[in-house]
Structure 1
Amino acid sequence: MTNVAPFSYRDLQAVIGYAAAHLPADISIVGVSTDSRTLTDGNVFIALRGERFDGHDHVDRVLREGNASCAVVSEDYLHHAAADLRPRLIGVPDTLRALGSFAWWHRRRFGIPVIAIAGAAGKTSTKELTAAVVSQAFRVLKTEANYNNQVGTPLTLLQLAAEHQAAVIEIGTNEPGEIELLSAMVQPTHGLITNIGKEHLEKLIDLDGVEREETALFDYLNDHDGLAFVNADDERLRTYERKVGRTITFGLDHDADIRIGVTFDASLLPVVHIIKDTFTFRARLATPGIAAARNAACAIAIGWSLQMSADEVRVGLESYDPPASHGYARMSVERMGGLTILNDTYNANPESMRVALDTLGRYPGTRRLAVLGDMRELGDASEDEHMAILGEAASHADAVIVTGDEFRRAVERLDAPHVLWCATHSGCVEQIRSLAGTEAIILVKGSRGMTMEKVIALLHE
């Protein structure tokens, strides 16, 4: 992700402080980069450190080749840097935080609606559908893919330009405090939490911890007179209608400011409808399942709050065509002879597993198989959560095939003869071919690390 965000000497004092005081007073930065491969003239290069890389390895080259105006480095690197490079180096305690500071400062230049989307599951799909709707009336910047962390979010914000009239920004979390940090960086005017579910329990511990973490977005909105979109169908979130100053409620199953109805066609594509004075329409979605309808409720509520017309919102919903899957995907329907594959292999946690299994159960067909891989990052709750999912799967599928160590332990503890555990992806395929017959609906899902898309690839062979 490249950008041309400008920063003057005065801007640098506001972003970095005294550490940038030695730079030339006439310095003019155009763009912030963390990737030495895409660096362009005038960029400031920020050297980030990760588990498998260190941007500091490239600082000497990018400065000597003349691409970068200056570089932001760690204080320990600065102390050992070559003397001739030090005038162009800015030493900071944490280069990742410095990247966020650049984005925070740049975001302050734009007085436009900025919509932040958080939640345990469905963030990316909701962000994409919301951006499709909002773009019918505004020129929109959106988070690309799922770049929702402390690197992707600031790089997205730095792409804001005069052409943009609104932004839809996805923010995610892996540990306590991340949503609070990203909310402060994004400075949203509007915010939506899709749901509260069991995610990243290794660090968030339990549902109370997830709720505290995700609702930091609502805390920010409440403190800054922002507008919070409250999911009335979520037992934990619906209480925030009374806790946040400005809210719009939405949902399918409970009374709400924006309550939509939903029916399904023969292919389980949702038809959503709403009757609210002149804001009345029906829209057919291109993504199957109940999750798509819930995502639509989010997008409709946001469109309504921005005073978009019913036609604009309808066109946005119907025009959104999820990208064709190549490998892993989010609830993509693939045909393979008489088999219908529900490819939901992008990722998994207990909440998204339940939604996917609900979609499998609703999908028209005579035989249904659930092929599931482990859910990662559940900490001490992992065994119980995998056992619970086995119970859910049995109620929605005629046969359940699982793989991964966590599901193996759950199967052994549950003593479930109706569940087949396989050690490998190829083992899963053998069981599918044995059980599916000539026609079946097959859900394939698991955490990203389980690479369950390999099951589908093997089925194609």
Structure 2
Amino acid sequence: MNIEQFYPLFLQSEHVTIDSRRIGKNDIFFAFSGENFNAATFADQAIEKGALAVIVEQQDFENKAKNIFYACSTLEFLQELAVHHRKQLNIPVIGLTGSNGKTTTKEIIHAVLSERFTVQYTLGNLNNHIGVPLTILSIKPKHEIAVIEMGANHQKEIELLCSICQPDFGYITNFGKAHLEGFGGFEGVIKGKSELYDYLKNHQQTIVVNENDPIQVEKTENYTPKITFGKEISDYQFELFSEELFVGLMYGSTKAVSKLTGEYNFTNLCAAASLGLHFGIDFKKIKHAIENYVPTNMRSQVVKKEGRTLVLDTYNANPSSMNASLLNFITFEGSKTIIIGDMLELGEESEQEHENILKLALELGFNEIITVGKNFKTVNSSQKAFESTAELIEYLKLNKIQSENILLKGSRGIALEKSLDFI
């Protein structure tokens, strides 16, 4: 079974899934296998559940009469099918990557563009070599624009993802100290993320540029076409303002205040607004989208609890985002406690980066500093240094935090949000 033969069957399907527990009628199930599992054993069961077809990579499980088809690699077949589908699409595809803020930016871009268009976008964190093709394959005839988030922690990953989603527009939120171990340091981060620029330049596609970011400016110098924001000479100019805890932007004389905290989210709002304006959306509708977007994904999420303000930012953490979070949080009025968790995938620079963040926290003078994780434990001699969130929870059961404001910030693997019920 080759891609051209299979594609008409794909067009009849409802969804594409790799999860045997979520198979619905007329779905296509890709039976991935690994060292400890073989999803091909669920092939017959998937058909019984109503699956339209199943792709397996063990020939013994093939049964063409039941639409169970063999492929040498389910992953490669999934990616090749996505590439073929992408070539049939005649809609703008916006590709997005960056060290910090890419998911929030994706969500806001989706909200803004949805004011005028039917938009498909990356759900959750499906932003890798499996998630990107799944997102491409979820684009239906009704969709008028797609927004594809691309994540990476090694060189050449963005290059691969670009070859699959083939973006017409691209934006890199920033270059920060994330996944230093995989990228081989900060210069490696710049090189790896810039693979999006390389693709766009090679295919004469449009780059979105924050002209307040010197790296973005340098990497896109003398290139066209591009959409720019940030400077007086840029295509679009926005002013930053804050209202209570929340960040907003002004375009002309019109203000739009978000439900996001932190000035670092200003550029995320600007990128979304710039794309909205580029696609002909009136700023009043952009304002409506920004003001009605509510973060619910543990990214700069503000939670009110028992008269206190909690900032929940536990989906990811690296030195760049941690630094920005602490500098933002210290501006809150009232007493402040920070609960900060380990920043993962920093390699040889891990101890120094954790020491730098702890030093910054001490210099800023928070009322209480609590750290969670083995990396922070190495550099924090305080009694409020816990190796795990489970240890933190045991502490919180006996010690109520008194501060009016509480920040929870850490990498996904630390799962600080589990402590929320005990604060």
Query: TM-score, normalized by length of structure 2?
Result: 0.89
Question: Is 1:297 matched with 2:270?
Answer: yes
Q: Report the CA distance shift for 1:395/1:137 in structure 2 as closer, same or farther (over 3 A).
A: farther
Partner of 1:378: 346
Residue 322 (structure 2) aligned to one of 349, 353, 368: 353
**Deviation of the 1:394 alpha carbon:** 2.3
Taking the TM superposition and a 5 Å limit, the aligned residue runs for 1:358-369 are 358-365=327-334, 367-369=335-337
**Among residues 232, 242, 258, which one is paired with 1:285 in the alignment?**
258
SS at match of 2:378: helix
In structure 2, the residue corresponding to 1:188 is in which secondary structure? Answer: coil
What's the counterpart of residue 106 of structure 2? 127
Given the superposition, is the C-alpha separation of residues 299 and 86 from structure 1 closer, same or farther in structure 2, using an over 3 Å criterion?
Answer: same
Change (3 A) 1:236 1:285: same
Residue 337 of structure 1 pairs with residue 306 of structure 2? yes
3-state SS, counterpart of residue 355 of structure 2: helix
Cα gap change, 1:433/1:176 in structure 2, threshold over 3 Å: closer, same or farther? same
Equivalent of 2:367 in 369, 373, 398: 398
Counterpart-to-counterpart distance in 2, 1:118 and 1:410 = 32
Identify the match of residue 440 of structure 1 among 401, 404, 410.
404
| Partner deviation per Cα, 1:182-212 (whole Å, 9 max, x = no partner) | 1111111111111111222221111111111
Instruction: Determine the C-alpha separation between the residues in 1 that align with 2:36 and 2:321.
Output: 29
Relative to 1, partners in 2 of residues 1:339 and 1:40: Cα closer, same or farther, differing over 3 Å?
Answer: closer
**How many Å separate the matches in 1 of 2:326 and 2:292?**
26
In the alignment, the residues of structure 2 paired with residue 453 and residue 393 of structure 1 have an alpha-carbon distance, to the nearest angstrom, of 20
Q: Indicate how the Cα distance of structure 1 residues 227 and 83 shifts in structure 2: closer, same or farther if over 3 A, else same.
A: closer
Quick check: 1:30 aligned with 2:12?
yes
Q: 2:295 aligns with which of 322, 325, 328?
A: 322
Does the 8 Å CA contact 1:196/1:234 hold for their aligned counterparts? no
1:10-54 CA distances to partner (integer Å, 9 max, x unpaired)?
852597xxxxxxxxxx96762343233344555543221356643
Question: Which residue identity is paired with 2:380?
Answer: V
**Distance change >3 Å, CA 432–CA 350, structure 1 → 2:** farther
Partners of 2:91 and 2:12 in 1: how far apart?
A: 22
SS at 1:176 equivalent: coil
Q: Which amino acid aligns with 1:332?
A: Q
Bigger Cα displacement from structure 2, 119-128 vs 231-240: 231-240
Establish whether residue 163 from structure 1 lines up as the match of residue 142 from structure 2: yes
- Alignment TM-score, normalising by the size of structure 1: 0.82
Aligned residue number for residue 54 of structure 2: 71
Corresponding position of 1:411 = 380
Identity across the alignment (%): 32
For these two proteins, the number of residue pairs brought into alignment is 419
Q: 1:262 aligns with which of 214, 237, 240?
A: 240
The more displaced of 313-322 and 219-228 is 313-322
The equivalent residue for 1:450 is 414
Which of 56, 67, 77 matches 2:40?
56
Pairwise CA distance, 1:362: 2.0
Query: How far apart are 1:140 and its partner, in Å?
Result: 0.9
Residue pair 2:315, 2:411 contacting (<8 A) in 1 also: yes
- How far is the alpha carbon of 1:364 from its aligned partner? 2.2
Gaps of 5+ in 1: 1-8, 16-25
Match among 306, 310, 323 for residue 279 of structure 2:
306
* Contact map agreement 2:43 2:68 (CA 8 A) in 1: no
CA distance in 1, matches of 2:341, 2:233: 36
CA drift at 1:257: 3.2
* DSSP-derived class of the 1:72 partner: strand
User: Is the alpha carbon distance of 1:399 and 1:33 closer, same or farther for their aligned partners in structure 2, counting shifts above 3 Å?
Assistant: closer
CA drift at 1:176: 2.1
Distance 2:22 2:303 in 1: 36
**Which residues of structure 2 form unaligned runs of 5+?**
none
- Deviation of 1:168 (Å): 1.3
For the residues of structure 2 that align with 1:183 and 1:83, how far apart are their CA atoms? 32
Q: Go from structure 1 to structure 2 and tell me whether the alpha carbon gap of 1:356 and 1:36 turns closer, same or farther (over 3 Å shift).
A: same
Distance of 1:181 and 1:403 partners within structure 2 = 35
Give the superposition deviation at 1:307.
2.4
* Counterpart residue number, 1:22: none
Cα root mean square deviation, aligned: 2.9
